[in-house]
Amino acid sequence: MSGLSAIAKLRYAPAIVGIAALALALLVMEFLIRVDVLNRFIIPMPTQIFEAFERVIVEEDVPARFLLTTREAATAMALLTVTGVAIGALLHRVTILRLACETWIAAFASAPIVLMYPLFLVIFGRNSTTIIMMGFIAGLPPVILKTIEGLASTRRVLIDVGRSFNLTQRQLFWKILFPAALPTIFVGLRLGLIFALINIVGVEFLINFGGLGQLINDLAERYDLAGTYAAIVFVILVSVLFFALTERVERWLRPAD
């Protein structure tokens, strides 16, 4: 028990436990496939996936594809941050506008946006702009809704203190409302990133254009299961990269925490 307590106090304890849990899950999966509980023609063995990494990286130009998908996700994320937070702040500020639009935005979040890709192809063409805009539109609702929620849930006492110092509306927003809403806003940004990345990779897959989505499509059509799963791992790495980045930005904006 003392050893476990010491591990729990480590700074990187969550990461260590997470990696250990993942390794255990892979070992269990390997065993189940080898004893034919899981169909190896549908799910390749983890050892085969690891062996496929070198081949996929060398033969399929993964670094360039990884950078392209990362660049598309970064552009969509920047658009989400600026536009989503601005629209959320506007809706919080104008009550009648929020009452008119908030439920529509929530309904839009549940719509299968990826099915709109033919329309975006007509508007923007078969290029990265279509993929970026699909990711941007798909990730916009959670950012807007969480921005509204964060600003609306600011404690009334903080707003009253700001008014007691005769702060202007602009000062009240930047010095009190926005800092208090940051944790909730970043929740919205992470959710928006999830929706955006799913749609970015999905559209790359559907229109067979650049990035990791096209690679997954190519490998799947060749029935290269190990390579397909290896390519999916690179998509997960893109997500991990952006989640780590948003966490660092949040800590930078909230140094007191």
pLDDT per position as a tens digit, 30-47 = 899 888 888 888 888 888
What pLDDT was estimated at residue 257? 47
Specify the 3-state DSSP secondary structure of 28.
helix
Cβ atoms of 144 and 84 within 8 Å: the answer is yes
Half-sphere exposure of residue 247, counting CA atoms within 13 Å on the CB side? 6
Conformation bin of residue 208: beta by default, left when phi > 0, alpha when psi is -120 to 50: left
pTM of the model: 0.83
What pLDDT was estimated at residue 41? 82
Section 235-240 average pLDDT: 86
In eight-state DSSP terms, residue 173 is: I
Q: H helices of the chain, where?
A: 2-8, 13-34, 46-59, 62-79, 85-93, 95-109, 117-124, 128-152, 156-164, 169-172, 178-207, 211-221, 225-253
Assigned token pair, 26: 């892979």
pLDDT in tens, 108-141: 888 888 888 888 999 998 889 999 999 999 999 9
pLDDT classification of 28: cutoffs 50, 70, 90: very high
Cβ atoms of 92 and 147 within 8 Å: the answer is yes
Q: How far apart, in Å, do the first and last CA atoms of the chain sit?
A: 30
In whole angstroms, what is the distance from residue 238 CA to residue 110 CA?
Answer: 24
Domains of the chain from N-terminus onward: 2-43 (no CATH), 53-253 (1.10.3720.10)
